């Protein structure tokens, strides 16, 4: 008997837990910074509404209809499309290998904050903490291991007692603390510059690369394209209103991304850092914000706990993609499936951490293994998976069957005609156009 979520709220929190993660707190602010600010934010919001919400609906509908893992979902409808499900499972290994590396960094930062060594406004000292971590293979491996173990322990406990239970309390606390930190950041002198940067668009900054980055960021942030939402949808009972969930999850996720932007970017300006700093942005600037507030160390500790929570509620959804494949298709027990999948991710993930440290330069073309995983996850894998999903639902499953599934919980899907046109024509064409740019950029980075 397949386990179900205990309630709609349980599902929404778990799915929002999957969506809200390092993509919001760490990646979104620095990606905004590297792509010119306000115009990127505006494009991002547009994409969430036009592509993100319709595809969220597509994914959870596919999951609930088939009640199977991503692999089984495609296979059960048309065997020839099994490869898309297989792609999802393979992606989950690569993305989690990358994600757990950064998850490890957040654990290390939590420890540093706990020992009182993090909170300072001295930007050189902050840069040194980050650099020291990056050049310490021992620390990188140790913290990544802990992160993966925590992920595995939750997934071992199953849907209700594991994923739903932990997502519920971790997500609720995350919201409260993020708001407190944002208020502090916004009241710093000089923060207005940051707010302007986030919300006043300069369209001269928009290039095809910016569009590609916005789309990649959106799929990553909404956990769409490799099967997390299909998998979570497969644990939904037939009573649940899918429309409501498909709108709520992206709205919550996007709100957290914007709040994280508001917590981090104004502080970057207030302390004279560069918003285009890149992946180290959250790790180098936020401690300076904490240093400027009363009880800063306490806030820093709490903040990093919450980043860890956000990261773990996402990583469990990635692991669940692979675990549910083994449970459904290979008839493995949940325990065995979790051990096997975590093992594979570990073997892929440790070299990624090491490739950063400079001691073991593992490169593929011109990219370190870590950068390769990062580029693949942010720009290629999820976008490709999402492209296949729209074609599949638009032309193989057919919108009318998906609509019947949505309406089976006695609701009327008023926007069904618009949604059908979107999944059949608009989204595949739009995603494909941007995807070509993604592949071009990716191969350029790899070989030039
Ligand atoms: N949405 C997560 C984040 O923003 O951190 C990352 C993620 C989770 C991506 C699950 C893909 C996925 F299937």
Spell out the SS3 assignment of the chain. CCCCCCCHHHHHHHHHHHHCCHHHHHHHHHHHHHCCCHHHHHHHHHHHHHHHHHHHHHHHHHHHHHCCCHHHHHHHHCHHHHHHHHHHHHHHHHHHHHHHHHHHHHHHHHHHHHCCCCCCCCHHHHHHHHHHHHCCHHHHHHHHHHHHHHHHHHHHCCHHHHHHHHHHHHHHHHHHHHHHHHHHHHCCCCHHHHHHHHHCCCHHHCCHHHHHHHHHHHHHHHCCCCCHHHHHHCCCCCCCCHHHHHHHHHHHHHHHHHHHHHHHHHHHHHCCCCHHHCCCHHHHHHHHHHHCCCCHHHHHHHHHHHHHHHHHHHHHHHHHHHHHHHHHHCCCCHHHHHHHHHHHHHHHHHHHHHHHHCCCCCEECCEEHHHHHHHHHHHHHHHHHHHHHHHHHHHHHCHHHHHHHHHCCCCCCCCHHHHHHHHHHHHHHHHHHHHHHHHHHHHHHHHC
What's the pLDDT at 94?
96
Tokens of 242: 């899918």
Q: Which atom of ligand 1 is nearest to the CA of 220?
A: 9
Give the whole-angstrom CA distance, residue 53 versus residue 248: 9
Give the whole-angstrom CA distance, residue 332 versus residue 76: 19
Task: List the one residue out of 261, 283, 263, 291 whose CA is nearest residue 126.
Answer: 283
Distances (CA, A) of 13 to 211, 253, 313, 325: 29, 11, 10, 23
Residues in contact with 68: Cβ distance below 8 Å, sequence separation at least 6, in sequence order: 75, 76, 234, 328
Among 99, 225, 282, 319, the mutation site with the greatest number of ligand 1 atoms within 8 A of its Cβ is: 99
Does 22 sit in the ligand 1 pocket, CB within 6 Å? yes
Does 73 sit in the ligand 1 pocket, CB within 6 Å? no
Does 423 sit in the ligand 1 pocket, CB within 6 Å? no
Please state the pTM of the whole predicted model: 0.94
Among 317, 321, 323, 380, the mutation site with the greatest number of ligand 1 atoms within 8 A of its Cβ is: 317
Task: List the one residue out of 428, 438, 437 whose CA is nearest residue 381.
Answer: 438
Distances (CA, A) of 317 to 18, 222, 248, 307: 6, 12, 18, 16
Q: Cα(140) to centroid of ligand 1, in Å?
A: 21
Q: pLDDT 10s per residue in the chain (448 long)?
A: 789 999 999 999 999 999 999 999 999 998 998 898 999 999 999 999 999 999 999 999 999 999 999 999 999 999 999 999 999 999 999 999 999 999 999 999 999 999 988 888 888 888 899 999 998 999 999 999 999 999 999 999 999 899 999 999 899 888 888 888 788 778 877 778 888 888 889 888 899 889 999 999 999 999 999 999 999 999 999 999 999 999 999 999 999 999 889 888 887 787 777 777 778 888 887 888 788 777 889 888 988 998 999 999 999 999 999 999 999 999 999 999 999 999 999 999 999 988 887 777 788 888 999 999 999 988 899 999 999 999 999 999 999 999 999 999 889 999 999 999 999 999 999 999 999 999 999 999 998 7
Q: Cα(20) to centroid of ligand 1, in Å?
A: 7
Report whether 238 contacts 408 (CB < 8 A). Answer: yes
What's the pLDDT at 429?
96
Does 337 sit in the ligand 1 pocket, CB within 6 Å? no
- Polymer length of the chain: 448
Does 228 sit in the ligand 1 pocket, CB within 6 Å? yes
Report whether 320 contacts 188 (CB < 8 A). Answer: no
- Domains annotated for the chain, with CATH where assigned, are 8-447 (1.20.1740)
Does 21 sit in the ligand 1 pocket, CB within 6 Å? yes
Does 314 sit in the ligand 1 pocket, CB within 6 Å? yes
Q: Give backbone dihedrals phi and psi of 22, rounded to 5 degrees, phi first.
A: -60, -25
Q: Cα(17) to centroid of ligand 1, in Å?
A: 9
């Amino acid at each position: 008997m397949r386990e179900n979520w205990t309630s709609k709220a349980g599902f929404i929190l778990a799915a929002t837990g999957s969506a809200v993660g390092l993509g919001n707190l760490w990646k979104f602010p620095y990606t905004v910074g590297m792509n010119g600010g306000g115009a990127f934010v505006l494009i991002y919001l547009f994409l969430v509404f036009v592509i993100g919400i319709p595809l969220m609906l597509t994914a959870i509908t596919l999951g609930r209809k088939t009640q199977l893992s991503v692999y089984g979902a495609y296979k059960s409808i048309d065997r020839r499309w099994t490869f898309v499900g297989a792609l999802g499972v393979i992606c989950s290994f690569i993305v989690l290998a990358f994600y757990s590396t950064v998850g490890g960094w957040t654990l290390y930062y939590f420890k540093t904050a706990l020992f009182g060594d993090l909170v300072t406004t001295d930007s050189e000292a902050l840069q040194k903490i980050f650099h020291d971590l990056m050049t310490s293979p021992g620390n990188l491996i140790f913290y990544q291991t802990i992160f993966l173990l925590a992920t595995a322990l939750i997934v071992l406990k199953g849907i209700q007692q594991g994923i739903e239970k932990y997502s519920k309390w971790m997500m609720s606390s995350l919201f409260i603390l993020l708001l407190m930190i944002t208020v502090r950041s916004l009241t710093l002198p000089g923060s207005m510059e940051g707010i302007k940067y986030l919300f006043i668009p300069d369209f001269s900054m928009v290039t095809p690369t910016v569009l590609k980055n916005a789309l990649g960021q959106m799929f990553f942030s909404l956990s769409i394209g490799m099967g997390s939402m299909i998998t979570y949808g497969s644990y939904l009972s037939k009573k649940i209103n899918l429309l409501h969930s498909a709108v709520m999850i992206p709205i919550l996720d996007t709100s957290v991304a914007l709040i994280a932007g508001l917590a981090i970017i104004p502080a970057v300006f207030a302390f004279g850092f560069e918003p285009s700093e890149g992946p180290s942005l959250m790790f180098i600037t936020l401690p300076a914000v904490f240093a400027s507030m009363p009880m800063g160390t306490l806030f820093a500790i709490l903040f990093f706990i919450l980043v860890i929570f956000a990261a773990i509620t996402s990583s469990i959804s990635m692991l669940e993609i692979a675990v549910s494949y083994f449970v459904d298709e290979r008839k493995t027990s949940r325990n065995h499936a979790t051990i096997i999948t975590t093992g594979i991710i570990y073997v892929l993930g440790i070299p990624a951490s090491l490739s950063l440290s400079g001691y073991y330069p593992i490169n593929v073309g011109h990219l370190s293994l870590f950068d390769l995983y990062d580029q693949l996850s942010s720009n290629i894998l999820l976008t490709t998976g999402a492209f296949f999903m729209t074609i599949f639902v638009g032309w193989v499953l057919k919108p009318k069957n998906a609509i019947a599934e949505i309406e089976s919980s006695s609701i009327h899907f008023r926007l069904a005609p618009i949604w059908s046109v979107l999944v059949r024509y608009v989204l595949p064409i739009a995603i494909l156009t941007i995807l070509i740019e993604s592949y071009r950029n990716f191969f350029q980075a790899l070989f030039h």
